[in-house]
Amino acid sequence: MKSSLKARSAQEFVPIEEIREGIIILKSGGLRMVLMASSTNFALKSTQEQEATIYQYQNFLNSLDFTVQFSIQSRKLNIAPYLETLKEVEKTQTNELLKIQTREYIEFIKNFVETSNIVSKSFFVIVPYEPPIFESPKGAAESLLGFFSSNKETAKKIPDNKFEEYKIQLFQRVDTVAQGLTSAGVRVAPLNTEELTELYFSLFNPGEAEKGRAPEIL
């Protein structure tokens, strides 16, 4: 019973109501899509290339009539699956010399990663869409008062027909962002439902993520 209450209280701090069709639906009713972005080594570009990149990126930002969020996630490199694969290779080795070399290689990789503290970086662009909420004077008053209310936020359910309508609006924004970043030399790809679940699991459970644990997708 206590664990159930603890789980419910922890979920109250998570602003996500559900993830559907690669779209994050917040408890507030807002929609989000997350794009993974490629990196670019700006320092290795020539002066002309750097100026062109800055110019294109500036044009991209100036063309937006909505906000976007850029996020960088740094995570300690998890090599546990790789080491397990090497251990299986070691078990199947029939040559004793190769078996010894494989074991020494496993120890070398393990010690190198532990002492070097290697991290991997991922780049994301979060594209938002806020459905219209001012449908009536009463709704407007409630939404304004909500900014100052200390009551717990209740999840707003989006009807299926409205979800399809809002999804189209969100996709149009995603296309605008993708085209703008592509012109600046940055490739992007939207995350699907499974990838979003793993991403937010790692954000809210960094300790478990470092151990290579991820939630099951039902």
* d(C-alpha 127, C-alpha 171), whole Å: 9
Burial of 147 (C-beta count, 10 Å sphere; 0-12/13-18/19+): exposed
> What is the pLDDT at residue 133?
62
pTM: 0.67
Q: Where are the domains of the chain?
A: 2-76+122-210, 78-117
140 confidence band (pLDDT: 50, 70, 90) = very low
What single-letter DSSP state applies at residue 44?
G
Residue 98 has φ and ψ, to the nearest 5°, of: -65, -35
Say whether pLDDT at 216 is over 60: no
> What is the pLDDT at residue 65?
92
148 confidence band (pLDDT: 50, 70, 90) = very low
Closest CA to 35 of 150, 175, 130: 175
Mean pLDDT of 201-216: 60
Q: How many CB atoms lie within 10 A of CB 94?
A: 6
Identify the residue with better confidence: 17 or 206.
Answer: 17
Q: Find out whether 52 and 156 touch, Cβ atoms under 8 Å.
A: no
What single-letter DSSP state applies at residue 27?
T
Say whether pLDDT at 153 is over 60: no
Identify the residue with better confidence: 87 or 2.
Answer: 87
Mean pLDDT score of the chain: 79
> What is the pLDDT at residue 208?
59
> What is the pLDDT at residue 3?
52
Say whether pLDDT at 188 is over 90: yes
53-69 confidence digits (pLDDT tens): 999 999 999 999 999 99
13-51 confidence digits (pLDDT tens): 778 888 999 999 988 888 999 999 998 888 888 999 999
Q: How many CB atoms lie within 10 A of CB 51?
A: 11
Identify the residue with better confidence: 158 or 169.
Answer: 169
Closest CA to 90 of 77, 104, 79: 104
Identify the residue with better confidence: 89 or 120.
Answer: 89
Helices and strands: H and E segment counts in the chain:
8, 6
Give the SS3 label for residue 32. strand
Mean pLDDT of 173-200: 92
Q: How is residue 8 written in tokens?
A: 């419910």
